[in-house]
A and B are shown apart, each in its own frame.
Chain A
Amino acid sequence: MSASPSYPSAKAVEVSDSEVACAVCGHRQSGAEAESSLQVCPACGAHRRISAHERVRQLVDPGTFEEWDRGLEGEDRLHFFDTRAYPERLEEARSRERLPDAILTGAARIGGFPVGLAAFDFGFLGGSLSTAVGERLARAIERSADTGVPFVCVTASGGARMQEGVFSLMQMAKSVAALHRLAEVHLPFISILADPTMGGSIASFAALGDVILAEPKAMIGFTGARVITQATYEQLPAGFQTSEFHHARGLIDHVVDRRQLREVLTELLAVLDTAPGDGHGAAA
């Protein structure tokens, strides 16, 4: 359950303050152009990793996002020290990512449809599952159930957060327990897998979507390729653990380009809408 090895197409290389270059093909764009192309390279289609804040901006109807549980933070229960004290790492990530932990949750509308939304932030300690992340995720699922709206989660997570030890492991159980509430009221969970979705995240809530979508060429799997190679010396098949690899094996419903994601989500929400024609939908 570790972060996947570095994914070469994922990171934008900052060329100057105002320019980014695609890490795959080198194509250059201004920062503003990159933002309006949703951080997808217009030349080669490579999807850059994006922050939770940018994800929410891209997906929701403008001005509809209301954040939940903003002040909720965890604790250093294990008093954990690896090469640095865990609280130092947390503080640094908080100020860099402008988030209390690796997830942003809230109410929003997508194509007119009300949803509960969660977006992981890979830049925050690898989007790893801390108690605070698990709690915000579980509360977002439960608030969706309580307010009668579908739940949409965009995951970008390396899996467990080692610094929270067994508490991190137990967030897998917590998220699955919360999803039971949503199922009890027959509301859909749409799980969107972004690069990367690994370890404890894909082995719990992220794999339990009623519908599972994934961005192209995202790395998805339980054990990362580097660990598999070290443990078994096995040859990895072509395209191993990509979205397309899992789609071909019946594990993901659709691989969706980020530039179509809003539209596909809107269609899904429309087909699942329990009260069509009541004015929720974009078509109304």
Chain B
Amino acid sequence: MSLPAPEEASSDAQSAAWARVEVSRHPHRPYSLDLIERCLDQFIELHGDRQGGDDAALVIGLARLGQMRLAVVANQKGRTLEERGRRNFGMAHPEGYRKAQRLFALAGRLQLPVLSFIDTPGAYPGVAAEERGQAWAIAQTLEAQLALPTPYLAVVIGEGGSGGALATLLADSVLVLENAFLSVASPEAAAAILFRDAGRKQTAAAALRLEPRNLVDWGIADEIVPEPPGGAHTDWDETAALLRPRIEARMGQLVAAGVDPARRRQRYRRLDGLFSA
């Protein structure tokens, strides 16, 4: 099958792609702690990376879902002006990634399945993050995920931007909410790189093919979780009611199957399916 010559997406397609990005960033969209509160039966937050920092942009904790014990790691955005600042709009610093590593180590020791929620514009583009080895911290977090000896389920609930998202994405199964997205860079950053103009974010959003259906077709995600009509921001309880059974089912399958981290590494090694090595 030959495809038509590549060209810029139509303006309708660009508008549709951008509308989806806006829903994923809607100020009333449920954030991780809103869904944790509504989907899980018990949650106790833990604090700190045990190396000198506690990054509020990323929360970790112990939880229970029915009979299952869980370790939870989640990006966390702020709702109020004060909280947005404190949580740095959900963009972790190195301490956040190290906190995630602590959680993965704890889960391995206590044999706890891990549930992650992804909702971050990406890693933090700031001087302090670079000075403290942000890239190294992300790389080590990727390594920790691929060595985790327990079942691991990731849920992309809003924005999934760049390496910041990847730090809690490399699970055995990945769920994506209907209006969430996963991208190599935010549409603004991609536009800045491709067009030297962040204002062409709509064009970039269309070109990057951010529709969740593609993630499933490409084998990066396993399932799309529907949201209430109009989007998750219209009804948090209903969003959680739709999500909880999918988490229970998927995590139940993973626990029953018994997880081998070598299989998880194979998943990410063979992911693009282009090469039959």
Contact = CB atoms under 8 A, between A and B. Distances in A.
B241 to A, nearest CB: 29
A106 interface: no
Interface stretch (B71-79, B191-199, B243-251): B191-199
Contact of A177 (B3, B163, B265): B265
Interface residues on A, range: 35 or more
A139 B208 CA distance: 27
A213 B54 CA distance: 30
A9 B220 CA distance: 40
A222 B185 contact: no
A164 B207 CA distance: 10
A266 interface: no
A204 B189 contact: no
A135 B275 contact: yes
A202 interface: yes
A172 B130 contact: no
Interface residues on B, range: 35 or more
Contact of A82 (B207, B215, B274): B207
B135 A207 contact: yes
B53 to A, nearest CB: 15
Nearest to A224: B125
Given A2-B189, A177-B146, A160 B184 contact: yes
B170 A173 contact: yes
Interface string A47-80: 0000000000000000000000000101111111
Contact of B146 (A82, A164, A176): A176
A249 B127 CA distance: 13
Interface of A: 1-3, 72, 74-83, 85-87, 131, 134-135, 138-139, 160, 162, 164-170, 172-174, 176-180, 199-200, 202-208, 220-223, 227-228, 230-232, 234-237, 240-241, 246, 249-251
15 contacts: A1-B163, A77-B274, A82-B194, A160-B184, A169-B184, A170-B268, A170-B271, A172-B142, A177-B266, A177-B269, A180-B265, A200-B163, A200-B184, A203-B142, A231-B126
Interface of B: 3, 5-9, 123, 125-127, 129-136, 138-140, 142-143, 146-147, 162-163, 166, 170, 182-185, 189-190, 192-195, 198, 203-204, 207-209, 214-215, 218, 220, 265-266, 268-269, 271-272, 274-275, 277
